[in-house]
Amino acid sequence: MTSKRPTLAQRSLPMRPFSESVPMALLRTREAVMRLFRPGLRSRGVTEQQWRILRALAHQGPLEVTELAEATFLLAPSLSRILPDLEKRRLISRRPVKADLRRSVVSLEAQGLRLIGEHAPYSEQMYARIAQRFGTEKLEQLLQLLHELETSLEALAGELDRRPAGAGQRKGSP
Amino acid sequence: MTSKRPTLAQRSLPMRPFSESVPMALLRTREAVMRLFRPGLRSRGVTEQQWRILRALAHQGPLEVTELAEATFLLAPSLSRILPDLEKRRLISRRPVKADLRRSVVSLEAQGLRLIGEHAPYSEQMYARIAQRFGTEKLEQLLQLLHELETSLEALAGELDRRPAGAGQRKGSP
DNA sequence: ACTGATTAATTATGATGTTAAGTATCTAAC
DNA sequence: GTTAGATACTTAACATCATAATTAATCAGT
């Protein structure tokens, strides 16, 4: 980045350089990854979030809404808006749980399955390119560090919160 | 995650397990980091995106809007919506560039500087906790890998795009 | 001096993120 | 049998994301 004359703020606020790095680096890297996948999704008329839903259902079978929120890392209010559209397009279906009418089960429908089948080769091609370019070993190392950081931050958050860990809107995976 | 009976999709679509990992791991880790900082920002009435703007101006001095978009990794249309509000709250100010009336320079105002000063100790405390819990060396290793992945993916995207790298909406840092 | 191409920023639009509040349902305690 | 508290999901409201289109201004070529 362009080096500029130190501002008053810079002189009086010695915030650590890395302080801005971690969230920004994660955001930038994620955008760089998604940039490769987004065109394929767009050409099939699904957003990244919709894809995550279809993908989770394909991978794990029918899920309840709270399970789907966790699997896709989407917030419940977001799911409540996304699911009706996917249902309308007959990519998924929903049915209430007889034992508890508050809950409902979301399933992948044939058209959703077909869409996944169509996108899978594109997706795999991108992953193969990423692995080739960056290195499978380094990817695994990165994933390991990300997982460890997430785990340690959740422990930290649990200590700082007054509420029990996981009581917030978006729950981490147990 | 709960292990379920393999679905038809699972049997017919052998998508790699890690294929869903990288974007999701980045997203989850970022959320785990932001979870520590968000309460402090909320208590000062600024969103994460607004904070990034103030932080970038404090760190680098006055910036033009395109530079600010790059420094904050925010999209230009988003900036066009956020900046007027920050200006109204007298946290920043804007003035046109005389040499090119299409452009304008954004500067931090005294109230913006004060807000940063108030938030800085909270922020630093969190970073210190993160470094202590996760390890400074591992953090640096993670940042290194993230940077390398981002760089290699931008090279890959450049090869795949018909347009020159960086022609898209959100430009990576040169 | 004029014009087509390009650039900077804004606006439109639809989607999702995020928090708070609401509705329907369930459960444990009495 | 009743009720307070909890849970699952939805809706409201506001913010930002993401893409496309628009407006205003600049610039290179003629």
Residues A29-81 pLDDT 10s: 999 999 888 888 988 999 999 999 999 999 999 999 999 999 999 999 999 99
Q: Is the ipTM of this complex over 0.90?
A: no
Q: What is the pLDDT of residues A127-170, one digit of tens each?
A: 889 999 999 999 999 999 999 999 999 888 877 764 433 334 56
CA distance A173 to A166: 9
The C-alpha angle with vertex B1 and arms to A67 and B31, in degrees rounded to 5, equals: 70
CA distance A76 to A80: 6
Distance B169 CA to D22 C1' (A): 16
Q: Which of residues 94-133 of B touch A (CB under 8 A)?
A: 108, 113, 116-117, 120, 123-124, 127, 129-130, 133
The DSSP bridge pattern shows strands A63-64 and A92-97 to be unpaired
Distance A100 CA to C8 C1' (A): 56
* CB-based contact, B41 to chain A, within 8 Å: no
Mean local confidence (pLDDT), A16-22: 69
- Parse chain A into domains and list their residue ranges: 27-135
Distance A160 CA to C21 C1' (A): 26
Strand C closer than 7 A to residue A82 Cβ: yes
Mean local confidence (pLDDT), A82-90: 95
10 Å Cβ neighbour count for A4? Answer: 12
3-class SS of residue A101: strand
Strand C closer than 7 A to residue B95 Cβ: no
> How far off is chain B from A74, nearest CA to CA, in Å?
10
Look up the CATH number of domain A27-135. Answer: 1.10.10.10
H/E segment holding residue A11: helix A8-12
Instruction: Quote the pLDDT of residue B110.
Output: 94
Strand C contact nucleotides, protein CB < 7 Å: 7-13, 15-20, 24-27
Q: What is the pLDDT of residues B109-149, one digit of tens each?
A: 999 999 999 888 888 888 889 999 999 999 999 999 999 99
* CB-based contact, A36 to chain B, within 8 Å: yes
DSSP per position, chain B: ----PPPHHHHH----GGGGHHHHHHHHHHHHHHHHHHHHHHHTT--HHHHHHHHHHHHH-SEEHHHHHHHHT--HHHHHHHHHHHHHTTSEEEEEETTEEEEEEEEE-HHHHHHHHHHHHHHHHHHHHHHHHH-HHHHHHHHHHHHHHHHHHHHHHHHH-SSPTT-SSSPPP-
Q: What is the pLDDT of residues B45-77, one digit of tens each?
A: 999 999 999 999 999 999 999 999 999 999 999
Residue from the list A1, A24, A143 with its beta carbon closest to the beta carbon of B18: A143
Distance A80 CA to D10 C1' (A): 7
CB A136 within 8 A of CB A119: no
Q: Considering only alpha carbons, which residue of chain B is nearest residue A153?
A: B32
Burial B48-69 (b: 16+ CB within 10 A, else e): eebbbbbbbbbbbbbbebebbb
- Which CATH architecture is the domain B32-152 placed in? Orthogonal Bundle (1.10)
Which residues from B are below 8 Å from A34, CB to CB? 23
Which residues from B are below 8 Å from A124, CB to CB? 15-16, 19
DSSP per position, B15-37: --GGGGHHHHHHHHHHHHHHHHH
Contacts of A172 (CB under 8 A, 6+ apart): A150, A154, A165, A166, B28, B32
Q: Which has more confidence, B139 or B4?
A: B139
Instruction: Quote the pLDDT of residue B16.
Output: 63
